[in-house]
A and B are shown apart, each in its own frame.
Chain A
Amino acid sequence: MLYQYSWTVLFAPLLAFAVIIFVTRVWDMLSRPRVQEVPAHGDTHADIHGSIDAHHDSHDEHIAEAGAHSEAEHGHLDDDDDPKVPFLTPGAKASAYVALVLMAFACIYSWVLLINSVVSPDPTLVKTGYTVFQYTWLNLGNINYQIAFHIDHLAIAMMVVVTTVTLLVQFYSQGYMQNSAGYARFYSYLSLFAFSMLVIVFAQNFLVIFTGWELVGLSSYLLIGFWINKKAKPEEQRPSPASAALQAFVVNRIGDVGFIIGIMILFVSTGTFEFSKLQIAVLGMNKTALTVAMICIFCGAIGKSAQFPLHVWLPSAMEGPTPVSALIHAATMVAAGVYMVARTFPLFYAADPVAFQVVGWIGAFTAFFAATIALVQSDFKRVLAFSTISQLGYMFVGLAVAGSEYGAGPGMFHLFTHAFFKALLFLGAGSVLFALHHATHREVQDVRLMGGLATRMPITAATWLIATLAISGFPGFSGFFSKETIIGLAYDHQQWGLYALTLVTAGLTAFYMLRAFILAFGGKGGYLGGLWGGPYRGEGEVHESPPTMTIPLILLAIPSVLAGYWTGFFTYLNPDAKPLDIAQLLSLPDTWIGVAVSLVGLIVAYAIYARVELTKIEAFVQSRPALRTVHRILYNRYYIDAFYDWLVKYVLLNGICWLAQAFDTYVIDGIVNGVASLITGFGSGVRRVETGQVQSYMIGFFGGVAVLAVLALVLINVVK
């Protein structure tokens, strides 16, 4: 009974979306006072105007001019795009409350489901799961296309993550987005995002998961590009939100091509989309075809979960509002790829081991690769973006090395713990950016302009430190258990390459996370030997963020520590798996090797960044040619973005598009124009026959008659 009604969890966000779009947002827009254009808002105004009319020299002149034109220019803009929001209308606030109430319901319901299924396991739920919604979409011949949702333990675990993180993010956004335009619209998109992700979570077959997959792509597009009027900042290597959204969308489509092909191969071979039927059907399938299909399906996960080489969209996606980043990184978007691989785990397992080798190696390489980039990034959010890419790599390694005795457990366990501390990291980063925005009245994301914030915003700093330790795999925190399990599995299965990469990455992770923490919150001269507080390198007075933002941080800090102690997670997902044995984990030598590597990372980061001033470190790096080169390569993200730019510009646009255009111009147009000019040429040649001289006509005429006469004569004689 409890399980049968779980579809309400899925449809609650959709209901919230509909209510906001059709009711509260309309109310908000109708009740919004018409604000007079005033020069005091010149900054934001200039941005808007600049995007419409790209040149203005003098600011004052521009405002005078804009005042005159304001009616004409802003008349056609959507009210939502108006950047001057003096206060939130009741309609806007109601939108937030609608989203929050419905999401709170979904969150509580999924926690109830989780606790219930842990305390009193339902054998049907464990084995096959419950189908909670079924609708025959299309019936062609003997093929049944169904829209079907079902839940099992895997779905419930993921559901809890999605609804919890979304709820906290929505709660947090009340503070973070209070000054932003489109407050109501933002909540509707967040609800849509949660719904899209839940579609993936509830999916019973590939059709539904693909629908959710694309819905997630759409909502991420809407949210990353939420601040459509913001411009690119080339000096900080930051694209505009609009182009970042487009990039995320397009890069994901590249992966989706593989995903669709994989689904089609499976469908053609087995005739079904349903996961439960596929599990049995693939056993009789050609192994090579299955392996190819699974690698193609993994391509979709590469795109969605930002693995190398399709990782470029994730750092760009940092241009979206920070709560959105938290949502994307922790629960909704990138987790979709991992969840999908976990959901199709039996299919991967049935395929050739090559399939899991591909998953593992891409994951491990991405983990290492992204971690090296994160070492030197100066953008606060971008460090976190690369850490997400790196941690997702861990999850794929976890899925790849788990083997049948664990199933999807280790990968999902890391997803589960990671969701909480990564959401915490992002919301904490958002809290910092919010505070700095209020202190400096401009957007600051560069860690070089932070420092010593711990004494100024202690709640944010404390929770961030907890998350830092969790992601670094510090013993006792949640990340320690999930990450050490994965590294230990790689060790147990003698995957030495994966083991080495994940181990080194653990050290790098610890290093760059503590580096980011100290650069933002500590510095030389602070308490605890430079870890806590210190000189602030920016301007203005920084204060702690409002409670709407700090409460989610505190709430997230709890699972960031405790999520790892759910030792029955593996057994929960796979009844045959052994539970996580903490005592045994702590007794294994390879665990302590991992811990040692992490500690080395932490200590090195502490020794460098807490004991030395930042300017000295930078001067040191710049004075050594080798270090400087390495720093530049890493800072420019191995020039992969530049390479893709080059690829798009010269190979795609100037190469393939040029060829296509040439084919169109010369072959297709050539055929049409050729026929036409052939006829024209023939005509203009033939008209020369008409000379205007009567005598030549006469020759033709009588000659023709003569020829006909001869012909007739001959014919008559022949016929005779």
Chain B
Amino acid sequence: MGLTLNHFLILGAVLFCIGLYGAISKHNAIAVLMGIEIMLNAVNVTMIGFSFFNTVKVHRPDGFGNYAQYLTGQIFAIFIITVAAAEAAVALAMIIAIYRKRNTVDVGEIDMMKW
């Protein structure tokens, strides 16, 4: 009983739900941000999982390394990590700015963009 794709997908789904729950239910903007980061990483896990199991047969003259992985998923994951870092930086900057302006980081109270 080895590691299969399903394990990756279930882990990703669980992580995504945890992150979603956090993003929806938390009042603190930083906690919401953390939830979003979890969701991003859940996606990363899924990407890596797909990438790992999506293999292709390689014919080499020496006979080694019969299977190779497609790297698209892994590259995506690296991009997502980068973007997530940038996003975290921008989001934290905004949270700080909002805190300075309104003295709160409660997302329930930050509702100027309505109607």
Residues of B within 8 A of A583 (CB): none
Q: How far apart are A706's CB and chain B's nearest CB, in angstroms? A: 10
Instruction: Tell whether, in the assembled complex, residue B24 and residue A691 are in contact, meaning their CB atoms are under 8 Å apart.
Output: no
Instruction: Tell whether, in the assembled complex, residue B114 and residue A694 are in contact, meaning their CB atoms are under 8 Å apart.
Output: no
B108 on the A face (CB < 8 A): yes
Residues of B within 8 A of A626 (CB): none
A699 on the B face (CB < 8 A): yes
Give residues 666-691 of A contacting B (CB, 8 Å).
Answer: 687-688, 690-691
Instruction: Tell whether, in the assembled complex, residue B113 and residue A695 are in contact, meaning their CB atoms are under 8 Å apart.
Output: no
Complex Cα spacing A702 to B114, Å: 20
Partner of A694, one of B25, B107, B115: B107
Instruction: Tell whether, in the assembled complex, residue A698 and residue B115 are in contact, meaning their CB atoms are under 8 Å apart.
Output: no
Residues of B within 8 A of A123 (CB): none
Residues of B within 8 A of A687 (CB): 115
B48 on the A face (CB < 8 A): no
Instruction: Tell whether, in the assembled complex, residue A693 and residue B111 are in contact, meaning their CB atoms are under 8 Å apart.
Output: yes
Complex Cα spacing A702 to B16, Å: 12
Residues of B within 8 A of A75 (CB): none
Q: How far apart are A24's CB and chain B's nearest CB, in angstroms? A: 77
Q: How far apart are B66's CB and chain A's nearest CB, in angstroms? A: 36
A141 on the B face (CB < 8 A): no
Residues of B within 8 A of A698 (CB): 20, 23-24
Complex Cα spacing A702 to B110, Å: 21
Complex Cα spacing A702 to B113, Å: 20
Contact indicator per residue, chain A 687-717, by CB within 8 Å of chain B (1) or not (0): 1101111110011001000000000000000
Complex Cα spacing A688 to B113, Å: 12
Give residues 33-91 of B contacting A (CB, 8 Å).
Answer: none
B112 on the A face (CB < 8 A): yes
Number of A-B contacts (CB under 8 A): 31
Query: What bracket does the count of chain B residues touching chain A fall in?
Result: 10 to 19
Instruction: Tell whether, in the assembled complex, residue B115 and residue A690 are in contact, meaning their CB atoms are under 8 Å apart.
Output: yes
Complex Cα spacing A645 to B102, Å: 74
Residues of B within 8 A of A688 (CB): 115
Q: How far apart are B68's CB and chain A's nearest CB, in angstroms? A: 33
Q: Which residue of B lies closest to A688 (CB)?
A: B115
Residues of A within 8 A of B111 (CB): 691-693
Q: How far apart are A219's CB and chain B's nearest CB, in angstroms? A: 69
Instruction: Tell whether, in the assembled complex, residue A702 and residue B20 are in contact, meaning their CB atoms are under 8 Å apart.
Output: yes
Q: How far apart are B42's CB and chain A's nearest CB, in angstroms? A: 13
Interface secondary structure of B, over-half rule: loop
Residues of A within 8 A of B23 (CB): 695, 698
Instruction: Tell whether, in the assembled complex, residue B114 and residue A692 are in contact, meaning their CB atoms are under 8 Å apart.
Output: yes
Instruction: Tell whether, in the assembled complex, residue A695 and residue B114 are in contact, meaning their CB atoms are under 8 Å apart.
Output: no
Instruction: Tell whether, in the assembled complex, residue B107 and residue A692 are in contact, meaning their CB atoms are under 8 Å apart.
Output: no
Residues of B within 8 A of A694 (CB): 32, 107, 110
Residues of B within 8 A of A702 (CB): 20, 24
Complex Cα spacing A698 to B20, Å: 9
Residues of A within 8 A of B24 (CB): 695, 698-699, 702
Complex Cα spacing A688 to B111, Å: 13
Q: How far apart are B57's CB and chain A's nearest CB, in angstroms? A: 31
Complex Cα spacing A702 to B24, Å: 10
Q: How far apart are B106's CB and chain A's nearest CB, in angstroms? A: 10
Partner of A695, one of B108, B112, B115: B108
Instruction: Tell whether, in the assembled complex, residue A693 and residue B115 are in contact, meaning their CB atoms are under 8 Å apart.
Output: no
Quick one: given A698-B23, A698-B24, are A692 and B108 in contact (CB under 8 Å)? no
Q: Which residue of B lies closest to A695 (CB)?
A: B24
Residues of A within 8 A of B20 (CB): 698, 702
Contact indicator per residue, chain B 92-111, by CB within 8 Å of chain A (1) or not (0): 00000000000000011011
Q: Which residue of B lies closest to A690 (CB)?
A: B114
Contact indicator per residue, chain A 134-148, by CB within 8 Å of chain B (1) or not (0): 000000000000000
Complex Cα spacing A692 to B110, Å: 8
Quick one: given A698-B23, A699-B24, are A693 and B112 in contact (CB under 8 Å)? no
Complex Cα spacing A352 to B43, Å: 100
Q: Which residue of A lies closest to B26 (CB)?
A: A695
Complex Cα spacing A684 to B32, Å: 30
Q: Which residue of B lies closest to A687 (CB)?
A: B115
Q: Which residue of B lies closest to A693 (CB)?
A: B111
Q: How far apart are B94's CB and chain A's nearest CB, in angstroms? A: 12
Q: Which residue of A lies closest to B16 (CB)?
A: A702
Complex Cα spacing A692 to B111, Å: 4
Complex Cα spacing A688 to B107, Å: 18
Residues of A within 8 A of B107 (CB): 693-695
Complex Cα spacing A496 to B112, Å: 96
Q: How far apart are A415's CB and chain B's nearest CB, in angstroms? A: 83
Complex Cα spacing A699 to B25, Å: 10
Residues of A within 8 A of B110 (CB): 693-694
Q: Which residue of B lies closest to A699 (CB)?
A: B24
Residues of A within 8 A of B32 (CB): 694-695
Residues of A within 8 A of B115 (CB): 687-688, 690, 692
Q: How far apart are B69's CB and chain A's nearest CB, in angstroms? A: 28
Q: How far apart are B25's CB and chain A's nearest CB, in angstroms? A: 8
Complex Cα spacing A692 to B113, Å: 5
Contact indicator per residue, chain A 111-127, by CB within 8 Å of chain B (1) or not (0): 00000000000000000
Q: How far apart are A594's CB and chain B's nearest CB, in angstroms? A: 93
Q: Which residue of B lies closest to A684 (CB)?
A: B115
Residues of B within 8 A of A691 (CB): 111, 114
Q: How far apart are A688's CB and chain B's nearest CB, in angstroms? A: 8
Partner of B108, one of A690, A693, A699: A693
Q: How far apart are B108's CB and chain A's nearest CB, in angstroms? A: 6
Q: Which residue of B lies closest to A691 (CB)?
A: B114
Residues of A within 8 A of B25 (CB): 695
Complex Cα spacing A694 to B107, Å: 7
Complex Cα spacing A214 to B113, Å: 72
Q: Which residue of A lies closest to B111 (CB)?
A: A692
Q: Which residue of B lies closest to A694 (CB)?
A: B107
Complex Cα spacing A698 to B107, Å: 12
Give residues 1-44 of B contacting A (CB, 8 Å).
Answer: 20, 23-25, 32
Q: Which residue of A lies closest to B108 (CB)?
A: A693
Q: How far apart are B12's CB and chain A's nearest CB, in angstroms? A: 15
Q: Which residue of B lies closest to A703 (CB)?
A: B24
Complex Cα spacing A694 to B23, Å: 10
Complex Cα spacing A699 to B32, Å: 13
Q: How far apart are B15's CB and chain A's nearest CB, in angstroms? A: 15
Residues of B within 8 A of A690 (CB): 114-115
Interface centre among A690, A691, A694 (most CB of B within 10 A): A694
Q: Which residue of A lies closest to B112 (CB)?
A: A692
Interface centre among B20, B24, B25 (most CB of A within 10 A): B24
Interface centre among A687, A691, A692, A695 (most CB of B within 10 A): A695
Q: How far apart are B53's CB and chain A's nearest CB, in angstroms? A: 23
Residues of A within 8 A of B112 (CB): 692
Q: Which residue of A lies closest to B27 (CB)?
A: A695
Q: Which residue of A lies closest to B113 (CB)?
A: A692
Residues of B within 8 A of A692 (CB): 111-115
Complex Cα spacing A702 to B22, Å: 13
**A-B pairs with beta carbons under 8 Å apart, 14 shown:** A688-B115, A691-B111, A691-B114, A692-B112, A692-B114, A693-B107, A693-B110, A693-B111, A695-B24, A695-B25, A695-B107, A698-B20, A698-B24, A702-B24
Q: A693-B111, A694-B107 are in contact. List 16 more A-B contacts (CB 8 A).
A: A688-B115, A691-B114, A692-B112, A692-B113, A692-B114, A692-B115, A693-B107, A694-B110, A695-B24, A695-B25, A695-B32, A695-B107, A698-B20, A698-B23, A702-B20, A702-B24
A-B pairs, 8 with minimum CB distance: A692-B114, A692-B111, A693-B111, A692-B113, A690-B114, A695-B24, A687-B115, A698-B24
